[in-house]
Structure 1
Amino acid sequence: MYEYTSLLSDFMNYNEILKEIKPKESEIKKVHEIAKDAISYINKIAKEEDINVESKLVGSIAKGTWLSGSSDIDIFINFSLEEDEDYLKEKGLYLGYKCSEHLNGIAEEHYASHPYLTSHINGYYVDFVPCYKIKTAKELKSAVDRTILHTNYIKKHLKSEREKDEVLLLKKFMSEVGVYGSEFKVGGFAGYLCEMLILRYNTFEETLEAAANWKNKRVIDLEDYKTDKLFKDPLIAIDPTDKTRNVGAALTKERMSEFIIASRNFLNSNEDDRIKFFYGIDKKETFEEKMSEKEIYHQISPYELYKQFKDRKTKTITIKFNIPDISVDSIHPQLRKTQQSIEEKLEDNDFSVFKSDYWTDEKKIGVFIFELSVYKQSKYYIHEGPRVWDKKACENFIKSHGEGYYILEDKLVLNKERQFKTAKNFIKSVLTKENIHIIKVGKNMKGLLIDTYTGQSIKHILKDESLKENTDFLKFLDNFLNPGQLLKR
Structure 2
Amino acid sequence: MYGAEIAKQGFSGYVCEVLVYYLGSFENVLKRMSKLKNNEMIGESPRKFDSPLVIIDPIDRNRNLGAAISIQNVTNLILIARNFLKKSSISYFKEKSKNKIPVELAKNTLVVSFKYKKRSDDIIYGQIKRAASSLESQMNKEGFNVLRSDAVAYDETNASLLFLLESLSVSKNEIRTGPDVFSSDFSTKFIHTNSKKSKLMWTDKEGKLQSLQTRRYENAKSYLNDLIKNHIGDSGIPKGLRPDFKTGFKIKSGKDKQSTSVKKSISKLITTDETAFSTN
TM-score range, shorter chain: 0.7 to 0.9
Change (3 A) 1:380 1:363: same
Segments of structure 2 that go 5 or more residues without pairing to the other structure are: none
Q: State whether residues 385 and 394 of structure 1, in contact with CA within 8 Å, keep that contact through their aligned partners in structure 2.
A: no
Change (3 A) 1:211 1:327: same
TM-score scaled by structure 1?
A: 0.50
Q: What displacement does 1:459 show? A: 2.4
2:127 partner amino acid: Q
Q: Distance in 2 between matches of 1:235 and 1:200?
A: 14
1:249 match: secondary structure: helix
Q: State whether residues 420 and 426 of structure 1, in contact with CA within 8 Å, keep that contact through their aligned partners in structure 2.
A: yes
Q: What displacement does 1:255 show? A: 1.6
Q: State whether residues 377 and 421 of structure 1, in contact with CA within 8 Å, keep that contact through their aligned partners in structure 2.
A: yes
Match of 1:322 in 2: 115
Q: Distance in 2 between matches of 1:277 and 1:403?
A: 56
> Does 1:481 find its partner at 2:270?
yes
1:324 match: secondary structure: coil
Match of 1:286 in 2: none
Query: What is the Cα-based RMSD across aligned positions, in Å?
Result: 3.1
Q: State whether residues 180 and 208 of structure 2, in contact with CA within 8 Å, keep that contact through their aligned partners in structure 1.
A: yes
Match of 1:46 in 2: none
Q: Distance in 2 between matches of 1:323 and 1:233?
A: 32
* Pairing partner for 2:95 from 272, 275, 280: 280
1:204 partner amino acid: F
Match of 1:459 in 2: 255
Q: Distance in 1 between matches of 2:83 and 2:189?
A: 64
- 1:125-164 equivalences under 5 Å are none
Match of 1:80 in 2: none
2:113 match: secondary structure: strand
* Pairing partner for 1:203 from 8, 18, 25: 25
- 1:304-323 equivalences under 5 Å are 304-305=100-101, 308-310=102-104, 312=105, 315-323=108-116
Q: Distance in 1 between matches of 2:226 and 2:157?
A: 24
Count of paired positions: 274
Match of 1:264 in 2: 82
* Pairing partner for 1:218 from 27, 35, 40: 40
Q: Distance in 2 between matches of 1:320 and 1:459?
A: 14
Change (3 A) 1:457 1:245: same
1:431 match: secondary structure: helix
Q: What displacement does 1:483 show? A: 3.3
Change (3 A) 1:252 1:380: closer
Q: Which moved more, 1:412-421 or 1:389-398?
A: 389-398
Q: Distance in 2 between matches of 1:417 and 1:488?
A: 41
Change (3 A) 1:424 1:188: same
- 1:167-178 equivalences under 5 Å are none
TM-score scaled by structure 2?
A: 0.83
Runs of 4+ in 1 over 6 A off after TM superposition: none
Match of 1:35 in 2: none
Q: State whether residues 199 and 213 of structure 2, in contact with CA within 8 Å, keep that contact through their aligned partners in structure 1.
A: no
Match of 2:231 in 1: 435
Q: State whether residues 228 and 238 of structure 1, in contact with CA within 8 Å, keep that contact through their aligned partners in structure 2.
A: no
Deviation sequence 1:72-129 (CA, Å, 0-9, x none): xxxxxxxxxxxxxxxxxxxxxxxxxxxxxxxxxxxxxxxxxxxxxxxxxxxxxxxxxx
* Pairing partner for 2:142 from 325, 333, 349: 349
Match of 1:43 in 2: none
Segments of structure 1 that go 5 or more residues without pairing to the other structure are: 1-178, 283-298
Q: What displacement does 1:426 show? A: 0.8
2:224 partner amino acid: I
Q: State whether residues 107 and 253 of structure 2, in contact with CA within 8 Å, keep that contact through their aligned partners in structure 1.
A: no
Q: State whether residues 479 and 485 of structure 1, in contact with CA within 8 Å, keep that contact through their aligned partners in structure 2.
A: no
1:227 match: secondary structure: coil
Q: What displacement does 1:209 show? A: 2.7
> Does 1:191 find its partner at 2:13?
yes
1:363 partner amino acid: E
Change (3 A) 1:344 1:202: same
Q: State whether residues 386 and 411 of structure 1, in contact with CA within 8 Å, keep that contact through their aligned partners in structure 2.
A: yes
Q: Distance in 2 between matches of 1:403 and 1:199?
A: 64
> Does 1:448 find its partner at 2:248?
no
Q: State whether residues 184 and 332 of structure 1, in contact with CA within 8 Å, keep that contact through their aligned partners in structure 2.
A: yes
Higher relative contact order (CA 8 A, sep 6+): 2
> Does 1:426 find its partner at 2:223?
yes
